[in-house]
């Protein structure tokens, strides 16, 4: 059974071109399925039917897996058993009839514009790594990039003249994102005077470098964002995706079309982007309640 899982992960990487993070997420679900099968006497995939998968999902739910994570696990199972059927390891796909649990839409956290401005203005560009860290935060907020997109951004993908950056997002999909004027200024300052001091013999073309000249890891970028927020005196939990949420919300609040925001964020489905309309509606209700005489 483990051999089929390994083959499936290779399939996701090579034939589907899915990210390492997605592969890891799928593996985590299937790594829970294997011991559950062993405990319940299922020795091959042909032993698994609809009832068994339903029992496994119940087991996950009782282990305090939240509805959203349970829904993701179900998707993993559907994709995996579809793969098993297509490769003739099983005759019938037992996961096909499974229905996803309903989840309540969780509104993304955002920062208000004043807090973002305070965070960016607090960074001293004259101190070591100030130019790099400012450029990172400016780009998160100006372009709505994912953490992985910041870490993987390369010099050859940056067009300073036309103010665009080409990034590769989920599913290996490439898109062009505009770089705002303030983010552009921060990038130019970093590239001209600070990045050269970080370059080593093994340095690649990644835009953002560590003190050793290598690309910044996602964990290090998370740490940078938290450290800069702490230095700015912000008590709220600040993380990279929060700046992406704020980017989308502030665009919507200022009249941007939802389809444009979808394209900028790199969402495959506009239903993913529509969550930000709920954020805006919530804000409008709060304004009405606070300022209308009969709110």
Q: Which residues contact 291 (CB under 8 A, 6 or more apart)?
A: none
Which residue bears the tokens 């982007």? 273
Please tell me which residue in 132, 228, 244, 250 is annotated as part of the active site. Answer: 244
Q: Which residues contact 18 (CB under 8 A, 6 or more apart)?
A: 12, 171, 172
Annotated active-site residue 276? The verdict is yes
- What sign for the dihedral angle of Cα 192, 159, 263, 207? negative
Q: DSSP code of 190?
A: I
Annotated active-site residue 292? The verdict is no
Q: Which residues contact 138 (CB under 8 A, 6 or more apart)?
A: 120, 180, 182, 183, 186, 187
Annotated active-site residue 170? The verdict is yes
Q: DSSP code of 165?
A: E
Please tell me which residue in 27, 170, 175, 220 is annotated as part of the active site. Answer: 170
Please tell me which residue in 32, 220, 241, 283 is annotated as part of the active site. Answer: 241
Q: Specify whether the CB–CB gap between 29 and 77 falls below 8 A.
A: yes
Annotated active-site residue 82? The verdict is no
Would you list the DSSP string of 122-169?
Answer: T--TTSTTHHHHHHHHHHHHHH---HHHHHH-BGGGEETTTTEEEEE-
Annotated active-site residue 46? The verdict is no
Annotated active-site residue 244? The verdict is yes
Which backbone phi and psi does 115 adopt, to 5 degrees?
-65, -40
Q: DSSP code of 267?
A: -
Please tell me which residue in 16, 154, 267, 283 is annotated as part of the active site. Answer: 267
Question: Distance of alpha carbon 159 from its chain centroid, rounded?
Answer: 24
Q: DSSP code of 280?
A: H
Please tell me which residue in 132, 146, 228, 250 is annotated as part of the active site. Answer: 146
Task: Find, among 77, 204, 217, 96, the residue nearest to 147 by Cα.
Answer: 217
- List active site positions: 146, 170, 241, 244, 267, 276
């Amino acid at each position: 059974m483990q051999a089929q899982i390994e083959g499936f992960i290779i399939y996701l990487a090579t034939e589907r071109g899915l990210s390492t993070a997605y592969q890891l997420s799928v593996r985590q679900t299937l790594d829970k399925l294997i011991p559950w099968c062993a405990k319940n006497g299922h020795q091959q995939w042909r032993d698994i039917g609809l009832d068994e998968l339903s029992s496994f999902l119940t087991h996950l739910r009782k282990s305090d897996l939240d509805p959203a994570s349970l829904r993701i696990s179900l998707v993993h199972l559907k994709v995996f058993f579809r793969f098993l059927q297509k490769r003739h390891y099983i005759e019938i796909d037992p996961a096909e009839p499974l229905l996803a649990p309903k989840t309540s839409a969780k509104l993304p956290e955002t920062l208000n514009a004043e807090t973002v401005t305070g965070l960016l203005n607090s960074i001293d560009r004259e101190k070591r790594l100030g130019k790099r860290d400012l450029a990172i935060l400016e780009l998160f907020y100006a372009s709505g990039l994912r953490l992985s997109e910041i870490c993987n951004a390369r010099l050859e993908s940056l067009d300073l003249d036309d103010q665009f950056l080409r990034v590769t997002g989920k599913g290996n999909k490439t898109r062009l994102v505009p770089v705002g004027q303030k983010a552009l200024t921060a990038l130019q300052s970093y590239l001209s005077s600070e990045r050269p001091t970080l370059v080593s013999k093994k340095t690649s073309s990644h835009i953002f470098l560590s003190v050793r000249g290598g690309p910044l890891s996602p964990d290090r970028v998370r740490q940078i964002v938290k450290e800069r927020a702490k230095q700015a005196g912000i008590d709220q939990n600040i993380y990279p995706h929060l700046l992406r949420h704020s980017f989308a919300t502030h665009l919507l609040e200022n009249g941007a079309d939802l389809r444009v925001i979808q394209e900028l964020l790199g969402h495959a489905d506009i239903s993913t982007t529509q969550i930000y309309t709920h954020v805006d509606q919530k804000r409008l209700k709060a304004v009405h309640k606070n300022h209308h005489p009969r709110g």
